[in-house]
Structure 1
């Protein structure tokens, strides 16, 4: 049995301009090495929940623990340097090259120059990009898919135990998106890190997740394996999601 990586204890989030919960009394635990996908429509609370793990948002109520430690007691900057974070917009620094982008946090942590160079080369190979061809380029010289690979490499630079990914493939074309999904599964399988991956795409969620967390109106409707969710949807909302996916399958089946 793997140790517990992340725990949510009665976690809620409200904002001053709203009387409604953005995240509504969430209680769950995630084991080390799981690939958790968080599925929901816009406004469901999935990104808010994700951002509370690295304290970009703090809960209004409740406790979040990482490997047993209450993160409210941890300096947010130190916490974030131990957690990888990848977003849809990538967020690469345009004025520095790819090698320097990947090395951002190791340099802040004052790693040895040779160690940084070796880590950059290792990470570029991991995400399927040739070091000599790419490390001197600038973000504007890369395709969207290549930029997203660099964003992933940068997030992995300090070998974090936890990776947070907020719709990282949402802006990519369908073929690139499928290829990067496969790459991400390979990376996760080889590292045994804990991944939390936000998406609004049900096919992506069920393809990637060892377990899928389905959110609606701030609540976790169901948190289980893809197979269990498909065979035993917890409520009408989950059932409607499954049916919508099946309708898409029938549409494509009618065209072949």
Structure 2
């Protein structure tokens, strides 16, 4: 496997904060992994994600994308290589499902035939029947269906890397589990690199091939779910695991 994303001594500080949002982080993510980034609010997980697609620039260090320093690329063109999904989804309400998915392909001047074929392909991939959903508007969809469309739109131009920032955070428990299962299928089918931010340890351990645990801008542990459960790196990780061991669906049970 090739390295998709590399952080080399990366730091980010926000004015007025008592500590770095991301503090001298070093890590490598291999292409094809589904990495979950776990931590409480303010731990640095979203900042880490936003530096990958250059919404934030690091104060120190460098970030590499398939071996290339991302600071040397045009930010707008670079972001087209990356899919980005957030909790708020951000579908355009005045546009149909098909037009929402086609947003970036149209900017890139794909042919109408190629766009239509891609829309149908992606709707099937996220478990929605094209004939039933392509002409609907966002207001006619459930929250879970909207999130699936957001995922399809992010996948539209076949990005090498997908960034997902708590995409299921506003979804009810049953739909959330269904979407998690769907995401695992989509990841397996796409063979892409996914980074998924969450504050839910069950979600992190269910989805992640490896889990990156953060606190106050620092990596506390970065390993497979099983290895983290069996060998917590420190007291912080140990307390995190102990806090949920009584929950029935926790992977460590």
- Structure 2 length as normaliser, TM-score? 0.97
Q: Aligned partners of 2:128, 2:160: CA distance in 1, in Å?
A: 23
Q: Aligned partners of 1:5, 1:146: CA distance in 2, in Å?
A: 29
Q: Deviations 1:72-91 (Å, cap 9, x if unpaired)?
A: 01111111111000000001
* Match of residue 130 from structure 1: 129
Deviation at 1:248, TM superposition (A): 3.1
Q: Aligned partners of 2:174, 2:14: CA distance in 1, in Å?
A: 38
1:220 is paired with a residue whose SS is strand
1:24-173, aligned counterparts within 5 Å?
24-173=23-172
Aligned length: 249
Q: Deviations 1:81-109 (Å, cap 9, x if unpaired)?
A: 11000000001011111100000000000
* Match of residue 237 from structure 2: 238
* Match of residue 253 from structure 1: none
* Match of residue 208 from structure 1: 207
1:242 is paired with a residue whose SS is helix
Deviation at 1:16, TM superposition (A): 2.1
Q: Aligned partners of 1:176, 1:82: CA distance in 2, in Å?
A: 29
1:21 is paired with a residue whose SS is coil
Deviation at 1:192, TM superposition (A): 1.0
Deviation at 1:19, TM superposition (A): 4.2
Deviation at 1:15, TM superposition (A): 1.2
* Match of residue 175 from structure 2: 176
* Match of residue 220 from structure 2: 221
Deviation at 1:190, TM superposition (A): 1.2
* Match of residue 12 from structure 1: 11
- Structure 1 length as normaliser, TM-score? 0.96
Q: Aligned partners of 1:70, 1:108: CA distance in 2, in Å?
A: 25
CA RMSD of aligned residues (A): 1.0
1:239 is paired with a residue whose SS is helix
Q: Aligned partners of 1:75, 1:167: CA distance in 2, in Å?
A: 27
1:176 is paired with a residue whose SS is helix
Deviation at 1:132, TM superposition (A): 1.2
Q: Aligned partners of 1:14, 1:119: CA distance in 2, in Å?
A: 40
Higher mean C-alpha displacement, 115-124 vs 15-24: 15-24
